Amino acid sequence: MTPDELPPSFRNLGGRLREAAARDIETERRRERQTERGGVRRMRRWRGRRWLLVAAAAILTAGGVAVAGRTLDRTGPDEPRDRTPRNVSPAGGSIVISQSARPDPRSGPPWALRVFKNAAGEDCVALGRLKNGALGTYDAARTFRRLPPSRAGICERLRDVDLLATAQSRGVPDQRTIVYGRTRGVRPVRVTIGGRTHTLRPGPLGSFVDVRPGVLDLRGATASTRVGGRTVTRRLR
């Protein structure tokens, strides 16, 4: 690490130590000129040099602390983050539905939803990992990052379609297929992928999340429910 890479506080400390060392050396030189005793002269000369060693040690220690701090802050090598589709920014406040959370089959924070309306008045649903009440991504280094407000999974007018549903495949940190969305009704949502059906009970605001291990073939996959006495089915691909 070069001096320019040190934090300003350490660079200032080094400067003050060097100034103090210079003053001490000059004082010792004046005293040396006033005495003829060689033993005393050598002792005082060493005192001046000791200041320089203290300053150098402080700078080296500061550099070591800075490097160690950057190393210990890391939890592992960076990997590509899992991704969600981008959409328009919310027109108003968004709500994280903590009750929609579903555990990951292996590890890490659970999966949950955030809902809001966009500027066109459509109902939007964002998917992410839930931690401390916030929604975000979770990468292979086990690092959680909050989702920005512009992230949205799907946007439609719920009153027109009755069922918002989509699916995502994630590869980081583990392969997952997640089906999520909202329904305008209160009846269960049936998610069928590869002939296997999961029945989900909608949570607040009709939210639902279905998390399955692996990257599944979504050809022919559907989500369906009943709203107003009729069956509503949405293809997931």
Residue 132 lies in a domain: yes
Same domain, yes or no: 103 and 207: yes
pTM for the full predicted model? 0.62
150 and 102 part of one domain: yes
**Residue 127 belongs to some domain of the structure:** yes
Tell me: do 35 and 99 sit in the same domain.
Answer: no
pLDDT tens for the 237 residues of the chain, in order: 544 544 454 445 456 656 765 666 666 666 666 655 555 444 444 444 444 444 444 443 434 333 333 323 333 333 334 444 444 455 567 899 999 999 999 889 999 999 999 888 999 999 999 999 999 999 888 899 998 877 667 999 999 999 999 999 988 888 999 999 999 999 999 999 999 999 999 999 999 999 999 999 999 999 999 999 999 999 998
Indicate whether 150 and 192 sit together in one domain. Answer: yes
Q: Identify whether residues 65 and 102 lie together within a single domain.
A: no
Residue 134: strand pairing partners: 131
Residue 77 inside a domain? The answer is no
Whether 102 and 28 share a structural domain: no
89 within some domain: no
What local confidence, expressed as pLDDT, does residue 15 receive?
A: 61
Same domain for 191 and 229? yes
Q: With respect to residue 208, please indicate whether it lies within any of the assigned structural domains.
A: yes
In a domain, 221, yes or no: yes
For residue 51, the model assigns a pLDDT of 44
Is 116 inside a domain boundary?
Answer: yes
211 and 102 part of one domain:
yes
Assess whether 32 and 137 both reside in one domain.
no
CA dihedral for 8, 14, 18, 24, sign (positive or negative): positive
Domain that holds residue 130: 95-235
Q: Is residue 133 part of a domain?
A: yes
- What's the pLDDT score for residue 149? 75
Domain boundary among 15, 37, 72: 72
Tell me, yes or no, whether 103 and 213 share the same domain: yes
Total number of domains in the chain = 2
Assess whether 104 and 203 both reside in one domain.
yes
Instruction: Taking the CA atoms of 148, 124, 103 and 216 in sequence, report the sign of the dihedral they define.
Output: negative
